[in-house]
Structure 1
Amino acid sequence: MFAAFASIMEREFDTLVITYPSNTPLTYTALELLVLESLPTDRPFVLLGESFSGPIAISLSARQLPRQAGLVLCSTFGSVPTIYLRAKHDWVVPGTASALVSSMHRDTRIIEIEAPHFLLQVAPEEVARHIRGFLKTLDGT
């Protein structure tokens, strides 16, 4: 599902896609634990949460993980992002979600991408370009 996006990011960054089990329904708490146990402990990392995974990335970020250098949210809902990638033609998450996130955190940078909901799948090059630019502004990545 994320092969094109991961392939683009892997050109410059160590990339890890954490997949959720497709045969067992899990709660947000169980998914958060699955992600936490999969994160690197030996190097800095940036969490990226798309859609349903946004709240999980936000919750993990609230823990102030020692090696986490940043947070990227794509077409999701929640608060406390550093950048928010918004799909201009999103039919799942309304544009008001990014406005709400921005109102909760003044330093949020909203980047609008001419695409539908699944940004990582339909606009991997453009999303990767914005994330690369963001990652290059962070210390320790």
Structure 2
Amino acid sequence: MFAALLQQLVPVEVIAYPSEPVAGYTTLLEQLAARVTVDADTVLLAESFAGPLGVALVAQAAVAPRALVLCATFADSPLLWLRPLAPLLRGLPLHGLPPWLCAAATFGRWATPAWSARLHATLHQVPQPVLRERLRAALRVAWREALSGVRCPLLYLQASADCIVPARSARRIAALRPDLHLVRIAAPHFLLQVAPEAALAAIAAFLANTVAR
């Protein structure tokens, strides 16, 4: 799903979540902290579900990284009104959702048969209980206070047509971090997949305008 972006990032390390066992944010953070080394040259990019993990990982790191880039993400529940319904997700047949529906929610008007097929295949690689737990975790997370511990330049890439994460999520981050630099890009929730060049240009410009550590 990230091939076009990764081809232009050198060097880069992609951190994948384990597909088993079922885990929420706290457990995932512990696993990531044991695998990820943050140093003064690190530029950490956290997209969508990974936003709270990126914030918490940087906040607890012994060394401040070069920058933290948040993309189409949140630090607390992006859909507060759905939080009470989180327990109902236990029986949701996520693998049974129509491919066109998933593509419409994540790609919007940029959806194509090819993207729909790739998304469908990717989702089916993850067990349904794991997907359900990630949805529940996203609805319940409240890690916004961890932003106060982020000691590095902070960039937010906002998708102009995001049907998953509302613009309010970026505003809530900015409320605690007025130094947040926000760049709005014409794209759906899957911004990095649809607009990798624009995302890379925004990141490069941001890094060029921040003082190297």
**Structure 2 length-normalised TM:** 0.58
Q: Quote the offset at 1:17 in angstroms.
A: 0.8
Q: Quote the offset at 1:43 in angstroms.
A: 6.3
Alignment partner, residue 196 of structure 2: 124
Q: How does 1:1-141 map to 2 (within 5 A)?
A: 1-10=1-10, 14-40=11-37, 44-66=41-63, 68-78=65-75, 79=144, 80=147, 82-136=154-208, 137-140=210-213
Secondary structure at the counterpart of residue 8 of structure 1: coil
Q: Which moved more, 1:67-76 or 1:47-56?
A: 67-76
Cα pair 2:38 2:65 within 8 Å, conserved: no
**Structure 1 length-normalised TM:** 0.85
Q: Quote the offset at 1:64 in angstroms.
A: 3.8
Counterpart amino acid of residue 2 in structure 2: F
Aligned-pair RMSD on alpha carbons? 2.0
Identity of aligned residues (%): 39
* Residues 23-70 of structure 1: per-residue CA shift (max 9 Å, x gap): 432221221122222223676212111111000011112114315222
Structure with the greater alpha carbon radius of gyration: 2
Higher helix fraction: Structure 1 or Structure 2? Answer: 2
Secondary structure at the counterpart of residue 7 of structure 2: helix
Matches of 2:72 and 2:178, distance apart in 1: 18
Higher strand fraction: Structure 1 or Structure 2? Answer: 1
Counterpart amino acid of residue 139 in structure 1: A
5+ residue gaps, structure 1, are: none
Equivalenced residues, count: 137
Matches of 1:85 and 1:132, distance apart in 2: 12
Matches of 1:102 and 1:119, distance apart in 2: 20
5+ residue gaps, structure 2, are: 76-143, 148-152
Matches of 1:114 and 1:77, distance apart in 2: 18
Matches of 1:88 and 1:131, distance apart in 2: 17
Q: Against the structure 1 CA distance between its residues 50 and 41, is the aligned structure 2 distance closer, same or farther, given a 3 Å change threshold?
A: closer
Higher RCO (CA < 8 A, seq sep 6+): 2
